[in-house]
């Protein structure tokens, strides 16, 4: 409490107060998510004991498996045990492999995070540049072309685009690897391995960022202070990159933050297409095996990353636009 009082009443008190409030809200949100995931897994058809025991398991064997896994307890007792473990940093153990869920996720999460970051970099570079150029060249052939490409990018499924990229660059041209991610992306081999999946996953996000960048930039460059800057003889490059770009970034940053969260959850299909050992593939295998702890741990991790990114975006707002209140 003393630390909280110092933070909330000191120099950065308003910022600290904002962060503490948002962290409490995020805790409640994650609590609700954990309950929904736990409930959905237990209400879904199928019996984990039957999958673990196999076709030759007897009723006695199945009962013994359920008892050992705690599946004979009531729903709320099982959820309380799960929640108590999570609050103590224990995500449980896999029904299928008996491996620690936290350990299994920690091994695969770097691949998923690397893919999401690389896809976000592709999306931001393509989306922001395309959006700005479209706004500055409104109604030109460049604007029309970028609009058509953006609509195509949103419409094309990433698994189809991934297959096409593999066919062109991996099979026909043979200039890029078609699967796996067994090297860090900052190495040459890892960089080559991440290019195709990052493009396949980041295309839709790039299209959304491009459209938001365009509309936001169009609104800003028509503002009075931009016209005043032009009347004073300020160079067009300075107007665009110093005055207009920063003020048009608030809605764009919102889209970027949301899309990064979606990319973390959307790596499932891309990881399957490109045979990347990430959390997405782990989740699919766990769902097929009715491996409750593994699915719950993976979903809780993705949800946590999503809300943390949104918290970061909220904090970033006040640095970009001082007019935004901390209260």
Query: Which one-letter DSSP state was computed for residue 170?
Result: I
Banded pLDDT at 189 (limits 50, 70, 90): confident
Rg value, the chain, Cα = 24
Banded pLDDT at 108 (limits 50, 70, 90): confident
Task: Tell which wins on pLDDT, 1 or 221.
Answer: 221
Give the count of alpha carbons within 13 A of 260, CB side only: 22
Tens-place pLDDT, residues 298-310: 888 888 888 888 7
- The dihedrals phi and psi of 196, each to the nearest 5 degrees, come to -65, -50
CA-CA distance, 190 to 114, in Å (whole number)?
10
Let me know if 284 is exposed, middle or buried by CB neighbors in 10 A (0-12, 13-18, 19+).
middle
**Closest C-alpha to 176, from 194, 162, 159:** 194
Cβ atoms < 10 Å from Cβ of 151: 12
* Whole-number pLDDT of residue 12: 56
**Closest C-alpha to 318, from 217, 249, 229, 264:** 249
Banded pLDDT at 53 (limits 50, 70, 90): confident
Q: Hey, what are 109's tokens? A: 């999460």
Q: Hey, what are 206's tokens? A: 């790039």
pLDDT of 4 strictly over 50: no
**Closest C-alpha to 209, from 197, 217, 198, 200:** 217
Residue 237, CA distances (Å) to 71, 108, 129, 138, 274 in order: 65, 44, 14, 17, 41
CA angle 195, 199, 201 (to 5 degrees): 120
Rounded to the nearest integer, the mean pLDDT of the chain is 79
CA-CA distance, 188 to 174, in Å (whole number)?
16
In percent, how much of the chain has pLDDT > 70? 91
Angle between helix 13-43 and helix 2-9 axes, rounded to 10 deg: 120
* Whole-number pLDDT of residue 10: 46
Tens-place pLDDT, residues 131-165: 888 888 877 887 788 778 777 777 788 888 888 88
Task: Tell which wins on pLDDT, 311 or 117.
Answer: 117
Right CATH for 105-320 from 3.40.50.11810, 1.20.140.10, 1.10.3720.10, 3.40.710.10: 1.10.3720.10
Least confident of 11-25, 117-131, 168-182: 11-25
Domain boundaries, the chain: 2-87, 105-320
Banded pLDDT at 228 (limits 50, 70, 90): confident
Banded pLDDT at 2 (limits 50, 70, 90): very low
Least confident of 40-54, 249-263, 275-289: 40-54
* Whole-number pLDDT of residue 89: 77
Element spanning 107, H or E: helix 101-136
- The owner of tokens 């072309």 is 145
Q: Are 72 and 66 in contact (CB under 8 A)?
A: yes
Instruction: List, in order, residues 6 or more apart from 48 with CB less than 8 Å away.
Output: 65, 69, 71, 95, 289, 290, 291, 292
DSSP helix/strand/coil, 100: strand
pTM given for the model: 0.79
Mean pLDDT of 46-58: 72
């Amino acid at each position: 409490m003393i630390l909280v009082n110092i933070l909330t009443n000191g120099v950065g008190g308003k910022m600290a107060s904002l962060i503490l409030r948002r962290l409490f809200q995020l805790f409640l949100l994650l609590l609700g998510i954990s309950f929904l995931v736990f409930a959905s897994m237990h209400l879904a058809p199928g019996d984990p004991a039957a999958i673990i025991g196999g076709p030759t398991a007897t009723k006695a064997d199945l009962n013994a498996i359920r008892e050992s896994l705690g599946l004979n307890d009531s729903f709320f007792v099982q959820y309380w045990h799960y929640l108590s473990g999570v609050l103590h940093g224990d995500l449980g153990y896999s029904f299928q492999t008996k491996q620690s869920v936290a350990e299994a996720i920690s091994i695969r999460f770097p691949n998923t995070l690397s893919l999401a970051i690389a896809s976000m970099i592709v999306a931001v570079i393509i989306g922001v540049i395309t959006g700005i150029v479209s706004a500055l060249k409104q109604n030109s052939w460049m604007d029309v072309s970028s609009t058509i490409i953006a609509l195509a990018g949103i419409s094309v499924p990433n698994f189809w685009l991934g297959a096409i990229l593999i066919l062109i660059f991996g099979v026909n041209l043979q200039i890029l690897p078609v699967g796996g991610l067994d090297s860090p992306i900052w190495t040459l081999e890892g960089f080559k391995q991440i290019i195709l999946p990052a493009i396949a996953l980041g295309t839709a996000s790039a299209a959304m960022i491009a459209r938001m960048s365009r509309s936001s930039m169009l609104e800003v460059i028509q503002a009075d202070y931009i016209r005043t800057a032009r009347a004073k003889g300020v160079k067009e490059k300075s107007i665009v990159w110093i005055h207009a770009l920063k003020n048009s970034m608030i809605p764009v940053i919102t889209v970027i933050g949301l899309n990064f969260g979606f990319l973390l959850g959307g790596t499932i299909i891309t990881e399957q297409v490109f045979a990347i050992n990430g959390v997405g593939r782990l989740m699919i295998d766990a769902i097929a095996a009715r491996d409750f702890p593994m699915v719950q741990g993976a979903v809780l991790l993705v949800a946590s990353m999503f809300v943390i990114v949104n918290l970061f975006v909220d904090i970033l707002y006040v640095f970009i636009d001082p007019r935004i209140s901390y209260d």
